[in-house]
Amino acid sequence: MSAGSLTILVIDENRIRASIIEAGLRDAGHRHVTVVHDVAGIARRIAELEPDVIVIDLENPNRDMLENMFQLSRAVKRPIAMFVDRSDQASIEAAVDAGVSAYVVDGLKKERIKPILDMAISRFNAFSRMARELEEARSELESRKVVDRAKGILMKSRGLSEEAAYALLRKTAMNQNRKIAEIAQSLVTAAGLLGPLEGE
């Protein structure tokens, strides 16, 4: 996605600081920049705008303000660059926990906006990819467990070998144009409804 096509939302109650960020983004070739000065109802604005990236600038954030922004970060699942004038270790750790992609203390300079934004996007993408791969691995493991259970049911109920049980699952899946794991899940569910099989 090119710089010009990104939709960026800037959240900043201070108009002068917001104009610095906006100028930095426009210098970097970003054309779709929306600046919001009032954080009230911000979740609704985000839903309306569907920005690709969010830049949050907090001049002197108090604990409640930071917590609100961190809650927002957890909810929106988008790259977020957050600028603050000062911070303590607890706030930095909370920002990381909340999924803020770039948390910048005392770094609001026009020429720094673009590299920080680029970093936020790449960090977010890397984190999202890791989370997706983890979920896929978990799902794959679950599927394998279900297939093993289904094979066990077929081996017991039909006296099949493990290879024959798997071949039957695969053939049924092909005939029904479904995944083997889906067929296996149906079989395991049905066996659960029928109760213990004879001989178990």
Per-residue pLDDT tens over the stretch 54-105: 888 887 777 777 787 888 877 788 888 888 887 778 888 888 787 788 888 8
pTM: 0.59
Residue 3 half-sphere exposure toward CB, CA atoms < 13 A: 13
**Domains, the chain, ordered by start:** 3-108 (3.40.50.2300), 134-194 (1.10.10.10)
Q: Which residues pair with 81 in a beta bridge?
A: 55, 102
Contacts with 187 (C-beta within 8 Å, 6 or more apart), sequence order: 150, 153, 154, 169
Q: Which residues pair with 83 in a beta bridge?
A: 57, 104
Number of alpha helices (DSSP H) and beta strands (DSSP E) in the chain: 7, 5
Contact criterion met (CB below 8 Å) for 65 and 40: no
